[in-house]
A and B are shown apart, each in its own frame.
Chain A
Amino acid sequence: MSIALQRTRSIANGRLGSLLLLLALCVVLIVVGQRVLSGGLSFFIQILVFGLANGAIYGLVALGYTMVYGIIELINFAHGDLVTLGAFIGLAFFPIFGLVEGKDLGIIGVAALAAVFLIAMVLTGGINVLIERVAYRPLRNSPRLAPLITAVGMSFVLQGIMYLWKGAFQIHVPDILPGTRLPLGPGASVGVKDLIVIAIAVVLVIGLNLFIDRTRLGKAMRATAQDRDAAQLMGIDINRTIAATFFIGAVLAASAGMIRGLYFNTVNFSDGYQLGLFAFTAAVFGGIGNIQGAALGGLFIGLVKAYGDAYFSSAWTDVYVFAILILVLVFRPSGLLGMRVPEK
């Protein structure tokens, strides 16, 4: 086992590894290039926008993984299920706010939708804070495996609750976003929906960055992530800071769930599982613990999936996404933007 591991490492570090990787990359590029050329430019752009919209959703989810990992080094396997939970909660408020299919949104509709977003985000955030309090905090000083397994269990618990709530069906999400498509060229167009999704995600990511960079709580979160004891010596209440991190992560996950529901108009209690794995891959790709990395990683995974589906076959999507995960873990475990500052 350890010899095999060492061998993998030495291949990874050596010339041969880089060469093999480069070769594989060339082959992929040539094949992709060929298909792209035969598909035409406007189709390429259409897929680009679709990939970015998808990637924006992955990015929002990846941010939660990365933030929670950054602060307590927990890979929160239940995070993906918060996405679905957020969508379920939002969905419950649609009729109350008069959001039904077939009506033009209008100003009031937009306000109502914003309100539903807010409610879903805050409630999901609150639930995640509760989860942290009862499931993870008591294990904070236990060996790492304990909270990890608890997180896997929590994922099942959340899925179980959602299954009991809505059953195993594909649940329809009202199609209330404008369906207009902007023509791009022969046989290709870009949906206004896609642009809305991208815009919402961009606003959220920029907001998050400003929050973490500028605010007192944001600084406290970074300090706690870097050195918990030192943070306490500054007077930072690390329990509150960690709770805030779970809250924000879940807020972003819920927003992703809402966006995703409105975009695909369907949601199922188990959607969070695969979505979570993809978003986790995105977080690892960008360097887990790294905020910008997670956002970019999300876009990258979204593009890989979109182009893979369009030019190859959607049956293979899982394979290449997880191949990326494995390649990154083997060749560059700190991720593309990973931090290489030595710890202590």
Chain B
Amino acid sequence: MALLELEGIETYYGRVRALNGISLSVDTGEVVALIGSNGAGKTTTLRTISGLQHPARGSISFAGQVITGVSAARRVGLGIGQSPEGRRLFGRMSVLDNLVLGSYTRRDRAGIQRDMDRVFELFPRLKERSGQISGTLSGGEQQMLAIGRALMSQPKILMLDEPSLGLAPILQETIFSIIAEINGQGTPILLVEQNALKALEVADRAYVLETGTIVKEGTGEELLHSEDVAKAYLGM
């Protein structure tokens, strides 16, 4: 059984159905990409996994346990970490406070300090700016903080919602190499990206989402070379 498994997930906003029975899985060590055009339901999928949105039907299991009815806050403790769409930093708090809040579910001081050092190693910029109010960081720095904050919970899986959005190409490169680095250190990643090309390059596997339905899945390689994907998402 995979680390994370979604089985027939249907999620509604009021009466509008955003996900029509999605099944997907992420296994230990993997980078899995979720691509699709605007409004396809990528963010909704991540929000459903983290528990901010509750599915009307279907089940989610994580690390061998069904978590469909577990609250969002408790899922963080179980090991589901997310850097949400739009970053959602605590804009009136310092960089350091944001990171400390990231470790909210933990009590192991030494471990927290170790992860803080690790985040500062991944993102030296954050260390320089640890006292700065996060709302005044640049877009790239905010994205680094959002990822760093998610790492502070010691996630068993890290979900990233459009980490490269709005960043200069060179910064996008940095973010993608850091994604690879984090994965290399052992954390599986579920990656939602507009930049489908980049996402498919770093991903072991990928799913293509269209209006709430998964229409294609395969290895990153396969999808990169699939004709419809190339046409629809890679602009080729």
Contact = CB atoms under 8 A, between A and B. Distances in A.
Interface of A: 216, 219-220, 222-223, 226-227, 229-238, 339, 341-342, 344
A234 B77 CA distance: 9
A80 B192 CA distance: 48
B129 interface: no
A232 B76 CA distance: 8
A235 B153 contact: yes
Given A235-B76, A237-B71, A229 B84 contact: yes
A137 B52 CA distance: 17
Contacts of B149: 234
Given A233-B72, A234-B76, A234-B104, 12 more contacts: A219-B97, A220-B104, A222-B93, A223-B90, A229-B52, A232-B50, A232-B51, A232-B72, A233-B81, A233-B88, A234-B149, A235-B77
A232 B84 CA distance: 11
A235 B105 contact: yes
Contact of A223 (B74, B81, B82, B93): B93
6 contacts: A222-B93, A233-B52, A234-B153, A235-B105, A235-B153, A238-B73
B92 interface: yes
Contacts of A233: 50, 52, 72, 76, 81-82, 84, 88, 150
Contacts, number: 72
Contacts of B135: 341-342
A344 B102 contact: no
Given A219-B100, A229-B52, A235 B73 contact: yes
B196 to A, nearest CB: 25
Given A216-B104, A226-B93, A232 B73 contact: yes
Contacts of A216: 104
Interface-centre pick from A220, A231, A234 (highest chain B CB count, 10 A): A234
Contact of B88 (A222, A227, A235, A238): A227
A236 B104 contact: yes
Contact of B102 (A234, A238, A341): A234
B218 to A, nearest CB: 30
Nearest to A229: B52
Query: Which residue, of A220, A233, A235, A238, has the highest number of chain B Cβ atoms within 10 A?
Result: A233
B107 to A, nearest CB: 10
Contacts of B77: 235
Nearest to A241: B73
B126 interface: no
Nearest to B86: A344
Contacts of B82: 233
B67 interface: no
Nearest to B53: A229
A235 B104 CA distance: 6
A230 B93 contact: no
B91 interface: yes
A223 B93 CA distance: 9
B34 interface: no
